[in-house]
Structure 1
Amino acid sequence: MSSQPGSISSRSDSGSLEVIVPDGETAIRWASHGYPSSLAKWHYHPQIEIHLIREGSGQFMAGDGLMPFEAGHVALIGSNLPHNWISDIRPGERLTHRDILCHVRPQTIRLLSSAFPETAGFEQVLRRALHAVVLSGESAHQVADLLVAMGDHEESRRVADLVAMLAVFEHAPEAESRTLVTPEYNPMVAVGAEDGINAAISYISDHLDEVSLQDAAEAAAMSASTFSRFFKRVAGIGFADFVRSLRIGRACRLLSCTDMPIARIQRMSGYANASNFNRRFLEETSLTPSAYRKNHSAR
């Protein structure tokens, strides 16, 4: 992570670790940034993270999980769980206000719970955070509003904001709260893997319409067979499945935000064959490209 007020970056012998230092004497760090950014990468840190995406769409990676996101996406990331949000953007495009987030050490939350038994339920929130909690519906709206407001509040008020957000995660209805990471995931697979994964993700994103396994492997300085095993082990998803998810995500953005002909969107999304594009799109979204565009236009 690049140096910012309240944060420093440190590299250990076993791999990259983002070291986050709150401003001054505070326990809570609040931050915002755009995309692309040196801060937006596959990484992990000891602090839990509450994160809001304010603009754009793409794919959210956490542990061995992958899911699409849109503006309004809210997630809670557990301690040392690798994560990343990959936005699909046009060449030269910048999302100026994409991310708002706050960090706090889980030990701080446990100290709070030991002093205030009323917050004992936060321990379960911390356990679920190890599997990346994603909110939707009214619960996501509540946390988003609190996280945005936190940026304008004094330090003492931010403590109240944090408690309120954790309470939303604790009491969110089952239909509005899900975890992304499988119970079997071991975060130790991330140690020492950051450079290779980030090099591969960057190359794939920049060459999505024509990327190959061999090209991505060369970008990560590995043989194709080694890279294929490495990517599956660390990211929890096979290379081909990852590329397909990003390509269909691009197609969804173009279908919903432009009037481009579907044939052109197909080519821009890396598919030379219309039937293959339609089949993959249907597998990922349960809709045909034309039905997806019609549904989005009706909103």
Structure 2
Amino acid sequence: MKARLIDTGLHANRQFRLKTVDEYYLNSPFHFHEACEIVLIEEGYGKRIVGDHIDDFEKGDLVLMGPNLPHIWQNDNVYFQKRKTMRVKATVLYFDPSLVLNLIAGSEAAVIIQSLFTKARRGVVIKHATHSLMLQRFAEIRAAEGLKRMSVFLDMLDMLSTSNDIEFLASENYHNAMTIKDTGRFNAVYQFLITNFHQEISLDEIAGVAKMSPTAFCRYFKARTNKSFVSFLQEIRISHACKLLRSNDLSIMDVALESGYNNLVNFNKNFRNILSLSPSEYRKKVRAEVEPSA
């Protein structure tokens, strides 16, 4: 599956589009396009890469992304077994930012919406009260037609533009240094890493996936992502470890093994380097956030 500049279905007479997904697994490759995009995951889980950020996603994940921001949502391996009881459902809203800016040109709202689009260049995940309100708007926009659908769409943007319930994804200095040709190569690399991160992955092996020599691959990966391959692999593994620490009572050693580490000292070191917490401290922190105080 080769990555490409995805056709979002937008054109002069259709400047925002609602797409529904109901499949065994998500099948869009690592890509970017010229539209803004709001992605709501209604069923399913896995990992997402947005710019230089990697994290786990699950039911309810809601992300806004600006134009030309490379991204991929990939389900965990169990989804590729095509079990009848497991489906992925999502709604994606594509829109042309110039459509909105042209509608409100010269108004005070234009400055606020432009600020939202600037934030969207890094990708933002939407949480808390705004997340709940956006779920309501998604239900409304699915049922609406004509001007009513446009009204709900603009209300969604207004809500997002004034909300503080967001977290940035890509790093502050991130910029897309990739070409369409690069995304094809990175699609293969990222899919391989997301599928196999829990196993030992040698530099020779991943360079072979990219069809490059190890030395050339290291330079290439760093130039396009602004981080080393080893650092990126550690981020995938620690992201998965965080998911396990949040969602079950596995021992720290079992979490390490499930995340691709066979050495507990190594696991603790990498975890603290990325999150400035030990795995046990992280688990205690997230549990304190979800459990009501006495």
TM-score normalised to structure 1 length: 0.80
1:277 is aligned to 2:261: no
1:214 maps to which of 201, 204, 210: 204
Q: Matches of residues 61-76 of structure 1 in structure 2 within 5 Å?
A: 61-67=49-55, 69-76=57-64
1:203 is aligned to 2:204: no
Unaligned 5+ runs, structure 1? 2-10
Do the aligned partners of 2:54 and 2:236 also contact (CA within 8 Å) in 1? no
How far did residue 80 of structure 1 move? 1.6
Deviations 1:24-46 (A, max 9, x none): 9543211232573222x321111
When structure 1 is superposed on structure 2, of 72-81 and 238-247 the one drifting more is 72-81
Do the aligned partners of 1:57 and 1:253 also contact (CA within 8 Å) in 2? no
1:253 is aligned to 2:243: yes
The aligned residue for residue 144 of structure 2 is 153
Question: Equivalents in 2 of 1:24, 1:110: separation in Å?
Answer: 15
The aligned residue for residue 29 of structure 1 is 17
Do the aligned partners of 2:46 and 2:57 also contact (CA within 8 Å) in 1? yes
| Secondary structure class of the residue paired with 2:94 | strand
The aligned residue for residue 128 of structure 1 is 119
Deviations 1:86-136 (A, max 9, x none): 44454746762353210011221122113x836423223223322323333
How far did residue 243 of structure 1 move? 1.1
Q: 1:111 and 1:23, CA in 2 relative to 1: closer, same or farther beyond 3 A?
A: closer
Q: 1:155 and 1:38, CA in 2 relative to 1: closer, same or farther beyond 3 A?
A: farther
Deviations 1:200-232 (A, max 9, x none): 011112211222222111111111122222222
Question: Equivalents in 2 of 1:219, 1:294: separation in Å?
Answer: 39
1:254 alignment partner AA: L
2:116 alignment partner AA: V
1:37 alignment partner AA: L
Do the aligned partners of 1:32 and 1:97 also contact (CA within 8 Å) in 2? no
Question: Equivalents in 1 of 2:251, 2:100: separation in Å?
Answer: 51
Question: Equivalents in 1 of 2:224, 2:139: separation in Å?
Answer: 32
Deviations 1:4-23 (A, max 9, x none): xxxxxxx9xxx821112159
Unaligned 5+ runs, structure 2? none
| Secondary structure class of the residue paired with 1:142 | helix
Do the aligned partners of 1:63 and 1:236 also contact (CA within 8 Å) in 2? no
Q: 1:203 and 1:170, CA in 2 relative to 1: closer, same or farther beyond 3 A?
A: same
Q: What's the Cα RMSD here? A: 3.1
> How many residue pairs end up in the alignment?
283
When structure 1 is superposed on structure 2, of 100-109 and 289-298 the one drifting more is 289-298
Question: Equivalents in 1 of 2:146, 2:224: separation in Å?
Answer: 37
Do the aligned partners of 1:72 and 1:141 also contact (CA within 8 Å) in 2? no
Question: Equivalents in 2 of 1:80, 1:293: separation in Å?
Answer: 35
2:153 alignment partner AA: L
1:237 is aligned to 2:234: no
2:4 alignment partner AA: S
When structure 1 is superposed on structure 2, of 176-185 and 200-209 the one drifting more is 176-185
Question: Equivalents in 2 of 1:35, 1:68: separation in Å?
Answer: 18
TM-score normalised to structure 2 length: 0.81
Q: Matches of residues 161-172 of structure 1 in structure 2 within 5 Å?
A: 161-172=152-163
